[in-house]
Chain A
Amino acid sequence: MAPDTLSVRIAHRLSNAFALDAAFGAPAGFTMILGPSGGGKTTLLNCIAGFAQPDSGRIALGARVLFDSDERINMPVAGRRLGYVFQNLALFPHLTVAQNIQYGIVKLPADERRARMMAMLESFRIANLIARKPNEISGGERQRVALARSLVTNPAALMLDEPLTALDNATKSKILDDLRAWNASHEIPILYVTHSPEEAFALGERVVVLEGGHILAQGMPQHVLTTPRHETIAQVVGFENVFDATVRSIAETQGTMLCQLDGSTTQLEVPLGHAQIGARIRIAIRAGDIMVASAHPQGLSARNSFQGRVQSIRREGVRVVVMIEAGATFEVHLTPGAIGALQLEAGKEVWLVIKTYSCNLVEPSPQ
């Protein structure tokens, strides 16, 4: 039996300033809902779950209609057969792990209930915790319990609202592995809300970019994230460098164009786009895609190398954010090791190296 697709088309006005207006389909597997805080991600999940009633639209899981404003269908939350892992997990604090997990399957006979719970505890490696209360276990363990509590009911679709933001990367990836293993045998749509492009990249089979209540883009992650078509998407998905520029020359046979950044003499070779000489364009570059050299680099395939001066160096956890002035201000992310090896410090002259295909052409926001 083919797994059901979750299809969503809703409009929901929350205030005069904010309205959610979204349409997308989520087949079995991970669909990442990516966007900044306040973009409407949680509101979207709340409408699907039935905690909020959209003003209009239709939500269906396969042939099962959960909500349809035209046909006046609004299935009660309890009947929707969905799993929802809340941002704060919402484990029942007065119940043990075992009671939490069995909460959604109380109608089953006791022995089947126990068997299902044990299988779940096994898959998420939390069998040792059954007698504990939620405030007696770690954050990662709570996360696993919340997943197990949702999945033990065999939901027809699962929604995760930024579930792993509070966890360290190692714990996070272990939990995701277990979730993916579970999903391999229970093919259901999983909506995974995140504001982290890295997470969207790593996990998703599909990505829906949501900002200001609207879907800006949707599709395969590589497609949506690496060739951002709108400036807002570029910011949402983490292009730290966005420059205005003018096309100076076009090399049709090379598939490239030369562009001059506004307010500087710096020129960048970028992939060929639909632009004429003299046209205004926007270029987006990831901070991690820019290389830094202490001397003039030679024998490189990269087409863009030019001189700049280090303005500031700021450490953010395991990465170092370097701001470099080279006609425009470039944000570059390096490892602490690279900083040491290059002996970088504010005021030092360096060379920036950028591959042509690290320069993404961005359309200005449609406004």
Chain B
Amino acid sequence: MDWSAIFLTLRLALLVCATLLIVGTPIAYWLSFTRWRWKFFVESIVALPLVLPPTVLGFYVLVAMGSRSPLGRWYQSLTGHGLPFTFEGLAIASVIYSLPFAVQPMAAAFSQVDRNLINASSILGASRIRTFFRVLLPLSIGGVVTGFVLSFAHTLGEFGVVLMVGGNIPGVTRTVSIAIYDQTQALDYAGANRMALLLLAFSFVTLSITYSLNRRVWAVWPMQR
């Protein structure tokens, strides 16, 4: 069992999910409240990773991070090393790759909340921030949990983007799915099977927990359709 790959993958998934909560929530909020007529444009960009081949996404992320791009140069001048083939680079690529899995369930949940409740909160003098934390978030917690779990599970299993951006450096960018690929290539079927089974069981358990949790959440607040 390649424990270093497992811990690296878990660390990556947790970091990505935490980042997505911070980055994805405002995007989801904006998407569900804006009346901007070009909003579909932003929706398409957020959803792009759903349809794009991971190699294409990985390729562009790699180019964008490379030492020839302004972003890559800026990062290099800041830290002294480049982003490609590092854990940080991998994390950034994963955040982009999993963005729709976090944003879509949250945006859907925010849109489900009765707008009169939001209006009631404002007319009672609450700021937007307070309305968000006191009314919108508690009533959309199911969607937020779903977004968190889906992006977690999605990050655990990603392969193409990791390979393009991170390569295969043990302890730095070698995730479980890469390790499985490696072991299969080396004809170590028993080792690959152990890792694959672990990933399968983990994914199944997280999804089961999410769905059971969501049902409970909706049973407590039946007004949320």
Contacts and interface: CB of A to CB of B under 8 A. Distances in A.
Interface residues of B, number: 21
Interface residues of A, number: 26
A86 B221 contact: no
Contacts of B112: none
A86 to B, nearest CB: 5
B221 A94 contact: yes
Contacts of A107: 125
Contact of B123 (A80, A88, A135): A80
Contacts of B114: 88, 90
Contacts of A51: 119, 122
Contacts of B125: 78-79, 81, 104, 107, 153
B82 to A, nearest CB: 46
Contacts, number: 63
Given A86-B116, A90-B119, A93-B221, A153 B139 contact: no
A104 B135 CA distance: 13
Main secondary structure of the interface of B (DSSP, over half): helix
A77 B119 contact: yes
Contact of B122 (A78, A135, A149, A153): A78
Nearest to A149: B124
Given A93-B139, A94-B139, A49 B223 contact: no
Interface in B197-225: 220-224
Q: Which of A83, A92, A135 has the most CB of B within 10 A?
A: A92
A162 to B, nearest CB: 13
Interface in A81-103: 81-84, 86, 88, 90, 92-94, 103
Given A93-B223, A94-B139, A94-B221, A86 B119 contact: yes
B79 interface: no
B50 interface: no
30 contacts: A49-B119, A49-B123, A50-B122, A51-B122, A77-B119, A77-B123, A78-B122, A81-B125, A83-B123, A84-B120, A84-B123, A86-B119, A88-B116, A90-B114, A90-B116, A90-B120, A92-B117, A92-B120, A92-B135, A93-B117, A93-B222, A93-B223, A94-B221, A103-B121, A103-B124, A103-B126, A104-B125, A134-B223, A135-B222, A150-B124
Interface of B: 114, 116-117, 119-127, 134-135, 138-139, 220-224
